[in-house]
A = this chain, B = another copy of it.
Amino acid sequence: MLEKDFRQVSCSTCHQRKENLLGGLGCDEISHIEDHKSCNYYKKNQSLFIEGSYPRGVFCINEGRIKIYKRGNEGKEQIIQIAKGGDLVGFRAMFSEDVYKVSAETLEECNICFISREDFLSLMDSNPTLRKGIIKELSTELADRANFITNMAQKSVRERLAFSLLLLMDIYVGEPINLSREDMANFVGTATETLIRLLKDFKEEAYIETHARKITVLDRNKLMSIAGI
């Protein structure tokens, strides 16, 4: 269904760009990126980058969703974040001058542009708006992660699931949440079986409904009260 979009995207007309961190660029800057970026189609479950490799640039998601995750000692994934169209991904490691500490993989078919490290950094040097946007973004995510840590440490799995479903609603706007049970468990931070049992509870209590793997939230307020918001 997305076939029409799976081709070279133009930054100058890209609606995603206008809303994201690159929204404040000038015409000359855009045309420079336009000439230097590459634009690629990704299949489901394809890797963008993996933990331990060196960053070569940033990914600008045009269409599709990707998971950012970290592997624990037993190889189990912990999903840290799910990014969607419009999000910039992979720039953190570039700044820390270190290898990636997380991995990124598509959750569905994606269309993603790539801007090289050099181009992006020089853009940042010359554009204070972009710079401030990046710093603000980093700071906001830092606060999000402090919250994530606190949730992990103090909330029950049931509470975390409610919280996660609310987060996922903002990532799957206007469509049902569509994640494998395993990915969802790795996002909530629990075992797949536990996740399934709790989803069943929520379904029986009519907070959500499911069609195959797809989940629709029916009672947002109730989930908020369970999550403790």
A contact patch SS? helix
Cβ of A153 under 8 Å from chain B: yes
A146 B80 Cβ-Cβ under 8 A: yes
B147 A145 Cβ-Cβ under 8 A: no
B135 A138 Cβ-Cβ under 8 A: yes
Given the known inter-chain contacts A142-B142, A145-B145, A145-B149, please indicate yes or no for A154 contacting B96, CB distance below 8 A. no
Shortest Cβ distance from residue A205 to the other chain B in the assembled complex, whole angstroms: 20
Q: What string of 1s and 0s marks CB contacts (under 8 Å) between A67-86 and chain B?
A: 00011111010101000000
Given the known inter-chain contacts A70-B146, A152-B189, please indicate yes or no for A135 contacting B136, CB distance below 8 A. no
Cβ of A97 under 8 Å from chain B: yes
Shortest Cβ distance from residue A97 to the other chain B in the assembled complex, whole angstroms: 7
Cβ of A139 under 8 Å from chain B: yes
Number of A residues with CB within 8 Å of any CB on chain B: 43
Q: What string of 1s and 0s marks CB contacts (under 8 Å) between A82-121 and chain B?
A: 0000000000111111100110000000000000000000
B72 A139 Cβ-Cβ under 8 A: no
Cβ of A155 under 8 Å from chain B: yes
User: 29 A-B Cβ contacts within 8 A?
Assistant: A72-B150, A72-B151, A72-B154, A72-B155, A73-B228, A76-B154, A78-B150, A78-B154, A80-B146, A80-B149, A80-B150, A92-B139, A92-B143, A93-B139, A94-B139, A96-B139, A98-B140, A98-B143, A101-B146, A102-B143, A125-B128, A131-B131, A135-B138, A138-B138, A141-B142, A142-B142, A145-B149, A149-B149, A152-B153
Top 7 closest A-B pairs, CB basis?
A: A153-B189, A72-B154, A101-B143, A152-B152, A145-B145, A96-B139, A138-B138
